[in-house]
Amino acid sequence: EPEVTQTPSHQVTQMGQEVILRCVPISNHLYFYWYRQILGQKVEFLVSFYNNEISEKSEIFDDQFSVERPDGSNFTLKIRSTKLEDSAMYFCASRQTAISGNTIYFGEGSWLTVV
């Protein structure tokens, strides 16, 4: 079964450092997302991406965050200068279309620890 894959599975970084989280969405999907989950809390929307541009972002997704689709397969989330509160599990997700009822599939997540 096709799946969303994410790397790295776990990264530890020092506060202030840049981090890039990588995702390979399902191959025929056109809509891509990043969500995050702070330990013990619910999953929160960060950003959605379609046709090489951001289609929606949350207030969490400030100027320190950026997304990119550098080639036909990868979708990345960059945090320019990490803060302690950025420690969380980051999930990439993808969806084939935006038609209501079309399933969104999640990757296994990248656990980011900022020290």
According to CB under 8 A, which one of 23, 26, 29, 33 is a site residue for other proteins?
33
Non-local (6+) Cβ contacts of 65 within 8 A are 46, 47, 77, 78, 79, 80
The rounded distance, in Å, linking the Cα atoms of 61 and 64 is 7
Range in contact with other proteins (rule: CB under 8 A) among 19-27, 42-50, 60-68, 71-79: 42-50
The rounded distance, in Å, linking the Cα atoms of 101 and 106 is 16
Which residues ranging from 84 to 113 are in contact with other proteins (CB under 8 A)? 91, 98-101, 103-109, 111
Which residues would be at the binding site for other proteins (CB under 8 A)?
Answer: 4, 31, 33, 35, 41-45, 48, 50, 55-56, 58, 91, 98-101, 103-109, 111
